[in-house]
Structure 1
C-alpha cells in the first residue's frame, strides 16, 4: 500500500526568497523520508498552487494526499483559506482524499532555531551584551493567534532571563519599532529582535527596518529551512496519514 503523498503548503509571497526557502524546507523533508512523495505548494502569490500540485499527484497515481500548512498560528488562513483550498482541490478529482493537518504552530523546538538565528545576528553585528528582546511575528486580526505569539515571546524571554515583548508586522500593535522603543523607555539599551517567520519576505523586512530605526542592536533572520521544522512537518503528516485510514480498517 502506497503511503499518502505529502504536500507542504505555504502562504506564498511575491518575494522569490520565500518560495526558495519553502522549496529548500521541502527538500529537507523529502531527504528525511525518501519513501514519501513530497511536494511544496502555495496558497497565493507563488507557484505551484495547491490545485496544480494535486493535479500532478493524481496524474502520478496518488489517491490520498496529506496537506501540512506551514503556518505558525491558527488564524484566518488556517481556519478558512487552507480548508477551502483543500476542498476545492479534492473536488476536482473523483475518488481522492485530501487530509489537512494541524498547522505547525509554535513548537518548543522552534526556540532553538530562534536562538541560532539570534546568535548569528549578534555575531554579525558584534554584539556581546543584551538586556532586552523583541519577538516579532506576522500579526493577525484574530486575537487568539496574536496571543500565541505573546506566549511564545514570554517563553523565549524566560529562556534568556530577559524582558521580552511580542511585536507584530501587521494587523495588531505593537509594531517592532514600538516594542523596541518601549524597552528603551524602560532603560534597556541593548535590544535584539527575533523573527518568528518561516521565510524572508516583505513582513520580516519591514520588521527589521522598523526595529533598527528604533535602535535595536541586531535583528535575526527568519527561521528558514531547518531540520527541526522538517521534523514537525513529518509529525503533522504522520497524524494526517492515520486520519486517512478508515475506522473499520483500524479495528479489523
Structure 2
C-alpha cells in the first residue's frame, strides 16, 4: 500500500461500492474511514457527509468504514472492494489511527490501496468551525474562543491541533488557544478556566470533532458557556474529503477532475 502526503453502525453506505465497482473513467473507489463511536447518533454525520461527497462527484464510488466500535469495520468495507482504492481517513489530525492503525489494517486486506492524508489541519476546516460558532450565540468582542480537541499522545497530532487553532484564529481574527479532553496536551477545562480568569465575558469552545460521542460529551462539562456542534457534514468538509482523495489519486492515475 502506498501513502500520499508527507508525513456508527450499519451496512456499507449507499452507492456503487461492490467488488466490481468503478467510477467514470475507472476512478478509484474512495473508502472513507471514520473513528467510530458508541453514540447511536455518531455514524449519521459521517453518512450525511459522504452523501455530500457523492453529490459533488456523482460518478465516484464511495464506501464507508470505521476503525472501531461502529460498523462496517474497515476490514469488511475494504474486503468488499476490487480495483484501485483510495483510503481517506476522516481524522482531523495525525495520530495512531491515521498513521499506523488504519494503514496497517488496510494493507492486510487491500494491499493495492493508497492512503490519503488525514483531513486536518486545513483552512476548510477552519471555515467549517467558524460556521458552527456563528449564529445568534456567536462570540462577541469580549468573549474567548478555545479550540477543543480529543487529544493525542503523538507529537505530530498535537502539532496538527496547534496548527488548526492558528488557522481558526486567523479566520476569526482573534487569539484561539486549544485544549484537549483526553491525553497529550493542555486540559480543555484548564484552558477554559484560564480564559475566564483573564476576564473573558463568555468562553466558547469550538468543537474540533466530526461527530458527537464521548469526546463531545467531555467538552460539554469543560466549564465553557457554549460548546459548538461537531463539524459534521459541512460542505467545506465534503470538498476537503475530495481534495485529499485527489492528492492521493495522483499517485495512481495522474490528473483528476476537481469538484
Corresponding residue SS for 1:135:
strand
CA distance in 2, matches of 1:228, 1:111: 9
1:206 aligns with 2:218: yes
**Deviation larger for 155-164 or 42-51:** 155-164
**Count of paired positions:** 230
Runs of 5+ consecutive residues of structure 1 not aligned to the other structure: 92-96, 247-252
CA distance in 1, matches of 2:102, 2:236: 23
Task: Report the alpha carbon displacement of residue 23 of structure 1 after superposing the two structures with TM.
Answer: 1.0
Give per-residue Cα distances to partners, 1:42-86, cap 9 Å, x unaligned. Answer: 11111112221123223xxxx111111111111111121011111
CA distance in 1, matches of 2:155, 2:143: 28
Runs of 5+ consecutive residues of structure 2 not aligned to the other structure: 1-24, 255-259
> Quick check: which one's helix share is greater?
1
Contact 2:158 2:185 in 1 (8 A): no
Alignment TM-score, normalising by the size of structure 1: 0.85
CA distance in 2, matches of 1:25, 1:183: 33
Give per-residue Cα distances to partners, 1:104-141, cap 9 Å, x unaligned. Answer: 11211211211111114716xxx755421110011101
Tell me the residue number matched to 1:249: none
Alignment TM-score, normalising by the size of structure 2: 0.82
Tell me the residue number matched to 1:40: 64
Give per-residue Cα distances to partners, 1:1-50, cap 9 Å, x unaligned. Answer: 52111111111111122211111111111111111111111111111122
Tell me the residue number matched to 1:109: 124
Tell me the residue number matched to 1:100: 115
CA distance in 2, matches of 1:65, 1:22: 19
**Structure label with greater radius of gyration:** 1
1:184 equivalent among 171, 190, 196: 196
Corresponding residue SS for 1:242:
helix
Tell me the residue number matched to 2:92: 72
Tell me the residue number matched to 1:23: 47
1:64/1:158 CA distance change after superposition, 3 Å: closer
Tell me the residue number matched to 2:4: none
Contact 2:120 2:164 in 1 (8 A): no
Alignment of 1:163-178 (within 5 A): 163-178=175-190
1:121/1:200 CA distance change after superposition, 3 Å: farther
CA distance in 1, matches of 2:36, 2:27: 27
Contact 1:121 1:218 in 2 (8 A): no
Task: Report the alpha carbon displacement of residue 185 of structure 1 after superposing the two structures with TM.
Answer: 1.5
1:87 aligns with 2:111: no
Tell me the residue number matched to 2:151: 139
Corresponding residue SS for 2:240:
helix
CA distance in 1, matches of 2:84, 2:143: 50
Contact 2:146 2:177 in 1 (8 A): yes
Corresponding residue SS for 1:237:
helix
Task: Report the alpha carbon displacement of residue 184 of structure 1 after superposing the two structures with TM.
Answer: 1.4
CA distance in 2, matches of 1:240, 1:107: 16
